[in-house]
């Protein structure tokens, strides 16, 4: 896991700075958290431009390379463990999903969900 974390850091362009890799086994799936100083050892800021998109790309590549799996979708999140503002986002998502299920036929529901995933889900 540490090897993969180091590779992630390198691919994300996080270099010449302080960082911590914290491995967790408190869930059914082992995972780690990476915390790094965005000011490198030379006093320059490490760019966070497009971090979200780079992160997604790097995670998919590492997942494939090492035979890992992506966590289940937003429908499987334990909302009881979330902070209030994060839980509110899931409550909104669930209310929208329930409303869509009542108001759309199966043939019209998928395009609507695709739209919601592109607009709302990135906010979660």
pLDDT score, position 31:
84
Average pLDDT, stretch 67-85? 75
The full 3-state SS of 35-94, as one line of letters, equals EECCECCCCCECCCCCHHHHHHHHHHHHHHHHCCCCCCCHHHCCHHHCCHHHHHHHHHHH
pLDDT in tens, 33-75: 999 999 999 999 998 888 889 999 999 999 999 998 776 666 6
- pLDDT > 70? residue 7: yes
**How do residues 94-114 score in pLDDT, each as one tens digit?**
887 787 777 766 666 667 666
């Amino acid at each position: 896991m540490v090897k993969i974390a180091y590779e992630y850091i390198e691919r994300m362009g996080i270099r010449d700075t302080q960082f911590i890799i914290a491995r967790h086994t408190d869930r059914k799936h082992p995972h780690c958290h990476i915390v790094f100083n965005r000011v490198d050892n030379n006093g320059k800021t490490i760019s966070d431009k497009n971090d979200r998109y780079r992160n997604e790309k790097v995670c998919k590549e590492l997942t494939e390379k090492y035979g890992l799996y992506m966590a289940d979708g937003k429908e499987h999140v334990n909302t009881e463990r979330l902070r209030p503002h994060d839980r509110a986002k899931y409550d909104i998502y669930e209310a929208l999903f329930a409303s869509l299920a009542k108001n759309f036929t199966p043939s019209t529901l998928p395009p609507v969900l695709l739209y919601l995933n592109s607009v709302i889900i990135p906010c979660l």
